[in-house]
Structures are given as structure tokens and as C-alpha cells.
A and B are shown apart, each in its own frame.
Chain A
Amino acid sequence: MTNPFHLGWFMSFRPPAFPDQWVGADAEEWTDGRYYEDFARSLERAKFDYIMIEDSSMVPDAYAGNSEVDLKHALYAPKHDPMALASLMADVTSRLGIVATGSSTFYPPYLLARTMSTLDHLSRGRMGWNVVTSSEDRAAQNYGIDRLPEHDERYDRADEFVDLVSQLWNSWEEGAEVQNRETGEFADHTKVHPIDFQGTYYDSRGPLNLPRSPQGRPVICQAGGSERGRRFGATHADTIIASAHGVEAMKAYRDSVRQHLVDVGRDPDSCKVLFVVSPIVAETEAAAQARYTAAWAPSDRRVEAALGHISAYTENDMSVYDWDQPVEELSTNGHQSTLAMFMKRAEGGKTLREVASAWSIGCLDLVGTPTTVADQMEKAMDYVGGDGFLISGASNRRFITEITDGLVPELQRRGLTRREYTHPTFRDNLLSF
């Protein structure tokens, strides 16, 4: 008997899957957020734990030295601010967790702490923060920083950033807001404390100018797959987004995260590892297989978009390589584990075209009918041990519905995913099984 597992969705506040079929007026109207309101409602209907809004802050130009490929395919840009979208999504849902990405490299800590706390209040306790350290110099330059700190130093800074922000969230004790009409006292000042934080990288006096939010500390989400990133995640995160190819790698990843949790003195069940997948679900096996073949065909368009993405991620110009030659060794100060996964797929002298067209951050190839995909997910979770999946993929209403109204009901029928939210706040739901 497989234990029940969790579901999340990985997306960003960007155009839906242009120019695919099944994207109509949303291709232009996505900016007002209404498409994403419907998206969030669909996930709540399917009892997802959370929706995670990824983010980045640049228009890349690493590929061929200009932004053509990025803007043509709308890869990184345009992308709008996730904090504003989180507020909209919170307003149209009542139980779904909402995770917004905020960079520890670009945000002033006090601002991040306050915006997150405000969102936790507005959502009545359903906010999460995806902590990223940012990995692109181009993004840093938009913030007046020439070059990012080295990979590991970014995590040292992020450790301190999260400590500071957590102290601000705790600077108002529970029950500080008394609203005593007899004494005229709004808040008990003896329960509100400066934090006088003085770190190596950051200082803040505090207290926060806002009472403690419903969760106190919003759910912390994290995705770094490097060794340093995993240690960071184990120290702070309530949920970890994982990309590892195949069930063996998935199991090894989760085991490693759980060991790190034990090493820092935490209960390994206090952090949920969710694996990225993009299921292809159709009425018949044959239809699903046909869509899979079409989706992964090594077309010029697909290869160009994949290489544009890799270029932006790693700030290497992938346009200089011959697509039909074996892949050369690459290095980066950016997304190290992502690049390592890419290079691993190139083993055995595969060509750039082959590797690029097959490249994804997905953990498993899930293809079939709702029944057979549910079988595959059940089997994978049985082997890996937990804790669930993070859906990503072509952003359009058809794909969302295939998952929320096709696949998920089958998972629910088997008792594998949530049928009802049992708590009002995000963290309590996330940790309820």
C-alpha cells in the first residue's frame, strides 16, 4: 500500500504556451492575472497543496549575444512580479497554498519579510516563500550589481538572510495585539521586540511593523540541488522542489535530503520533497504516445528554445556549437545541478541536438491514460518513499484540466492524494501526512 502523497504545481507569471494550440486570448490577456486566477481555482478544486510561482529578473542575451531567441519563444521574459500575482490568487481561493519566489540576493530582507507577512495575513495563513539565491549576472546587473557572489557564498548569505527574516517574523509575540478598550492600548509593547540583527552580510534593527501573521513563518520552499543547496534546504525548508532523472536518482535525492535533515537535527518528515513531472494524459495510450512523440521531436524550434534556456541558465552562449556534433564540456557559476544533469545526458557522445531536444527538468516520463499514469506515479512513490509531485508543463487551460480533472480524480479514487483540506493554513495541510 503506497502512502498518500502531495501535489504542487510549478509555474511562473508569464505568457501561456505561445504559440501552441489551446492558447487563445490568454496569449495576450495573461498580464491581468485572470488566467492565473482560474489556474489557482482549478488546483484548489483538485486539492493541490500549493502553486509555486517561479521567478527571474532579466531579459537574457547569452544566446548569440542578443535577446532574440529568448523573446521569440518567451522563455525567461516577459515575466511579471510574483508577489502581485500571489495576492490575486489568494483572493480567489481559500485553502490552496501559494508560494512566491523572492531572491535573497536582490530583496532587502526587511522588505521581503514584510511583503510575505502581509501576504500571509491577506491569505489568512496560506503563503509560502520560495527562497532562491539567483544565478545570473544579467539579473544582478539590473540591480546595479556587476557580478553575483560565488555559488557557495550566495548560500552563506542566504542562510543569514533567512535567519534575519525569521527573526523579524517573530518580533511580535503571539497575542501582542490586545485592542484593550479600557486602557486604550492597541498592542502590548512588551511583546514587540527589536531584533538588533548584525550579521556578516545583513543588518536590521526591527521589529517588523506588522503583527505576527497567521502562520508566523510562511512555508519555506527551496530548490537548490547542489550539495550546498541541499544543506541550505535541509536547514530551512518545509518543502523542497527536486529534479532528478529516474526513480533511482529520485530515491537517492530524497534519501540525501532526509539525511541532511537528520544531520541538522530535524525530523525528516518535517520537509516534503516534491519531484517535478510533466505528465502527458490522453483518452487512450496511443493518443498519449503520439503526443509524447510530437512533443519531444528534435525539431529546430525545440532545439533552439532548449538551447536558449540553457544559455540563460548558465550564461554560456550555446549558439556557437554545431547542433549535430557531440556536446562539449561546460561550466557555470549559475544553476550547477541543472547543468550537471544536462551534461550527464550527453554521455556516450550524443549530439547537442539529441540532448537539447530531450532536455527537461522532469523526473519521469509519465505518458498514458489517467489510469496508467496514476499506476506509474503510484509505483514511483512506492519505490522512492515520498513525498509527492510538482506538476509543470505547457501552460494552457487544456493541460491544467487534463491534470486537475483527469489524472487527479484517479489518484484521489485510489486514496493517493488529498480529497479534502483538513486545516485552514498551508503548513498544517502540508505536514498533515
Chain B
Amino acid sequence: MCITTPRTPLTFGWFLNFMPPAWNGPWRSNHRDRWTDGDFYVDVARQLEAACIDFMLLEDSVMVPDTYGGTMEAELTYTTRAPKGDPLPLIPKLARATSHIGFAATMSTSLYPPFMLARLLTTLDHITHGRVAWNLVTSAEDRAAQNFGKAGLPSHAERYERADEYAALVKQLWNSWDEGALVMDRTEGRYVDHTKVHPINFEGQFHSSRGPLNTLPGPQRQPLIFQAGSSPAGRDLAAKHAEVVLASMKGVDQMKAFRDDIRARAAAAGRDPDSIKVLYLIQPIIAETEEEAQLRAARAYAPTDDNVIARLVHMSSGDVDFSQFDLDAPLPDDIETNGIKSGIDNLRRVAAGKTLREAAASRMEAVSLVGTAESVADQIDAVVAEVGGDGFIFFGGGGGKLSRHYVAEITEGLMPALQDRGLARTHYPADTLRNSIFPTATTNALEPTR
């Protein structure tokens, strides 16, 4: 029984990727030998849909990192970023097994041809009946660029300039077919009215495309755009193009400041601030009792070699080799990166006065949620009261890799407690992801950038 309250439910998503599920912990997936067939993720999608989670965000990267120690060995032991399957072909399979949950596909503006991206997302919009979104990333690793035949990535600033132009191009392609272009006039034998289909003749500084797109407009026409960059350039890009922003700020003050900043930037860019949802990454640890939950959190974040190295391998995906630093000394002050700037900033934030070992074992997410389902739901309630946030994105497996066990703790433990408080949905309110997340849709987001 759900208690009906007049509160507006928050938006909830789950951040994951097409990677091996837990294979070496206490809750191993029995799909671990054949995780690449995608069946494990079908089960997860169903679990999430049963709990009315709005979307799965399918993160992506395109390399096997070898920054840590100058070899792929550590990466292929701890599997922090590789192996990883292409999330795009996984989406039709997940869509067949579900009917409401959305799928945000990560695609890089540095690596995908814009026409191909626009066309594939529209194709998926049709196949999912309007449940696809684009998680716009600019890619942060030279190794990824090298797989695509480039010596390295453009500078951080240029990547964002390119991404801005790229998003404008893609939106024009999505709007290259007018409403009503599909006429299906059987008498005249006319399928499409060509006067409603237009070349875009886009000539930018970095990209060009003639258009029109060769697909019928999808149910959402423009899939929702997600974005996660938190540097100033990333925030401006989000304020201009994104409808869902992923944030990994630490602590309620920063969470609030970040959301206020994004909303101010959106307003400055001429958008309604309510046309953007700011969602914070969380990884709650939930158990039957407070004590048990605390014990599990202590285990998951103990500064053991395994925990610490796994984190540092993950941090080393860009151009900084963390194996060179002394684990039992503070983090050096002079680390420079052209990669994920906010990642190092976050580490530095938690590292103040700590050794690298202690810092690397720390929890990095917005708020460290530990407790019973009821107490964690109360903590979330309190955070929302203070931050005024729009929702949350779960990720990972509570200190380890994803398992059905962890997913169930959230979907069958925490979500019902949030639903009881009116903080989470008990049904999907609309037929498309866009309308589900923005039930009173602003048209702002649908206007093409001409």
C-alpha cells in the first residue's frame, strides 16, 4: 500500500554500463561467463522498471586504459573501464523486455559522425516507442582518440566548442522533417510530402552536414539530452543543450550551489530553469539494521590495497598515472590533466589532510547514504528539503560491481520507502521518456537551434 501524498515525485535513474557484472564478490552474477549476451542487463532493466525508475543511463568509453603503471594489467584485473560493449545495440534488446523505462545512450561528440548519431538515436526512438535519450560526452582520453586514428583529443576548451556546434547540428537534423510530412496518401500513391522535408546545409567551424535526415521523426522527435561535465565549459554546454544534468558534487552545500548555478546559466541562455533536471549520483548502502549497514559500508570502503588500487586505476584512465604517487603521503599539488578535470578536483576535495590511500578509499558521491531503507529514505528527504533537487541517479553496486542483489536492495528496499513518502513514482505518468520526466513539458527544449 502506498501512502498518497501531494508531493511531486523526484526523478530517479540508474547509471551503469555494458560491463561484466560482479564476478568476484559475495554476490556473483550467474551470467558472469556470458555477460556479453546482454541477458543480465535485461534482468536489471526489469528490476528497475518494477520500481518505476525513470531511466537507465548507459555510460560508455572506448579504450582499454594503460595509464596506471604503463600497462593494461591493472585495468584488466580491476575492470574499472574495460571490457565494455557498445551500449547502442544493447538498447533494442532492453526495450523489447520492458515498456516504460527510458535508456540514455552515451555517445561522444569527439568520435561519432553527427549524422550517424542523429540517425541512430531517431531509429532507437522509434524502436523504444519514445524512450531513448542521448548522454552527450566529449570523451576525455587520448587513448580513445588514438583508437579512432587521432593523435589525441582537442583541448578541453575546444572539445566543448565542438560539442556545442555538434549539438546544434544534430538538433537541426532532428527537425529537418516537419510535422505531417508522412502523408501515406494511398489514392495518390504518395508516402511522404517532400515539401515538408528540408536540407539543413549546416556549415560550421568544425562540422558540416547537408541533410535532411533519412528517417521519419521519432515519437519524441528530439530525444532528451543528458550531460555530465561540471567544469565551467561543461556547465555552459549543459545550460544550453541539456535537459538532464548529472552531478557528482560532494555535500549538500555544493549540491545546492551547483544546481543554482546551472539554473542561473540556463536562464542566462534564455531557457526556463525548470526545463533542466539536476540529478545527483548516489550509492546508498542498505541493510536490515543500521549496524549491519555501517559494517558493510566500512568493509566496502576499507583502505585495503584492492579497494585503493581499483580506485586509482579508475582515476588513471586519462593522462595521470596514479601508480607513481606514494599511497601513504598526501596527493601532490601539481597534477595537470587534459582529461576529466572535475574528477581530480573531487579527489582533491576529499583528500584534504589525508593520505592518498585514505582519500582513494573515501566515498566520492554527493551524499554518503548508509542505513536501513527507512533511514536512507529519510536522509534523502532531508537532502531534498535543503537542496531543492530534482532527483538522483544510482550507480555501481554499493562499493563493488553490479549484482542483482544490490539492485534489489534499492528497487525492493529503498524505492518502496521513497514511494511511501511521495518522493518516488508508483507508476509511469506518460508514454515517452520526455513526457515522463517533464509531465508539463516546456516547448523550450524542442525548438531547433537555427
Interfacial residues, chain A to chain B (CB-CB below 8 A): 13, 15, 18-19, 27-28, 31-33, 56-59, 66-68, 70-74, 76-81, 83-88, 90-92, 106-111, 114-115, 117-119, 121-122, 124, 138, 141-144, 177, 179, 181, 184-189, 192, 202-207, 209-211, 213, 301
Quick check: B82 and A209 within 8 Å, CB to CB? yes
Contact of B23 among A81, A111, A186 (CB under 8 A): A186
CB distance B127 to A115 under 8 Å? no
Cα distance A286–B53 when bound, in Å?
59
Given contacts A111-B148, A142-B210, A205-B147, contact A118 B90 (CB under 8 A): yes
Known: A28-B184, A184-B77. A142 touches B211 (CB 8 A): yes
Contact in complex: A108, B111 (CB < 8 Å): yes
B220 in the interface (beta carbon within 8 A): no
- B195 (CB) vs chain A CBs: closest residue: A68
- List chain B positions with a Cβ less than 8 A from chain A: 18, 20, 23-24, 32-33, 36-38, 61-64, 71-73, 75-79, 81-86, 88-93, 96, 111-116, 119-120, 122-124, 126-127, 129, 143, 146-149, 182, 184, 186, 188-194, 197, 207-216, 218, 306
Once the chains are docked, how many angstroms separate the CA of A142 from the CA of B211? 5
- Given A189-B71, A204-B147, A205-B147, check contact A141 B76 (CB 8 Å): no
Give the chain A neighbours of B211 by CB distance below 8 A: 142
Question: Which of these, B61, B79, B116, contacts A186 with CB under 8 Å?
Answer: B79
- Within 8 Å by CB of A205, from B85, B93, B146, B194, lies B146
Q: Please name all residues of chain A whose beta carbon is closer than 8 Å to the beta carbon of B23 when the two chains form the complex.
A: 179, 181, 186
Name B123's contact: one of A66, A80, A106 (CB within 8 Å).
A80
Further contacts, 14 of them, CB under 8 A, given A107-B116, A114-B86, A209-B64 = A27-B184, A57-B119, A59-B212, A71-B197, A73-B191, A76-B214, A78-B192, A84-B89, A109-B149, A143-B115, A186-B76, A189-B71, A209-B81, A209-B82
CA distance A263 to B48 in the complex (A): 56
A88–B63 touching, CB < 8 Å: no
Chain A residue contacts of B147, Cβ below 8 A: 110, 204-206
Task: Check if B210 sits within 8 Å of A141, measured CB to CB.
Answer: yes
How many residue-residue contacts, CB under 8 A, span A and B?
Answer: 230
Contact among B84, B148, B191 for A71, CB-based, below 8 A: B191
**CB-based contact B124/A84 at 8 Å:** yes
Q: Which residues of B contact A119 (CB under 8 A)?
A: 89
Give the CA-CA distance A169 to B64 in the complex, in Å: 14
User: Are A115 and B113 within 8 A (Cβ)?
Assistant: no
Whether B73 pairs with A72 at a CB distance below 8 angstroms is: no
Query: B61 contacts which chain A residues (CB < 8 A)?
Result: 209
- Residues from chain A with Cβ under 8 Å of B143 in the complex: 205
Question: Which one of B122, B126, B210 has the greatest number of beta carbons of chain A within 10 Å?
Answer: B210
Asked whether B36 lies within 8 Å of A204 as measured between CB atoms, the reply is: no
> Shortest CB–CB separation between residue B104 and chain A, in angstroms?
16
9 of the cross-chain contacts (CB-CB < 8 Å) are: A71-B191, A81-B120, A85-B123, A91-B92, A117-B86, A121-B37, A122-B37, A186-B79, A205-B147
Measured in the bound complex, the distance between the Cα atoms of B93 and A121 in whole Å is 12
> Which residue in A13, A84, A90, A203 is a CB contact (below 8 Å) of B149?
A203
Cα distance A249–B210 when bound, in Å? Answer: 39
Q: In the assembly, what is the distance between CA of A120 and CA of B65, in Å?
A: 23
Q: When chains A and B are docked, how far (Å) is the Cα of A192 from the Cα of B209?
A: 37
CA distance A184 to B78 in the complex (A): 8
Contact between A121 and B36, CB atoms less than 8 A apart: yes
Q: Which residues of A contact B218 (CB under 8 A)?
A: 31
In the docked arrangement, what's the CA distance between A190 and B215, Å? 44
Which residues of chain B are near A68, meaning CB under 8 Å? 194
B residues less than 8 Å from A70 (CB atoms) = 194
Most buried by A among B91, B147, B216: B147
Would you call A210 and B37 a contact (CB within 8 A)?
no
Determine whether the beta carbon of B85 is less than 8 Å from that of A74.
no
In contact, A179 and B33 (Cβ under 8 angstroms): yes
Cβ of B88 and Cβ of A115 under 8 Å apart? Answer: yes
Residues of A within 8 A of B75 (CB): 189
CB distance from B112 to the nearest CB of A (A): 7
Q: Which residues of A sit under 8 angstroms from B306, Cβ to Cβ?
A: 184
In the complex the two chains form, is A187's CB within 8 Å of B149's CB?
Answer: no
* CB proximity of A332 to chain B, nearest CB, Å: 19
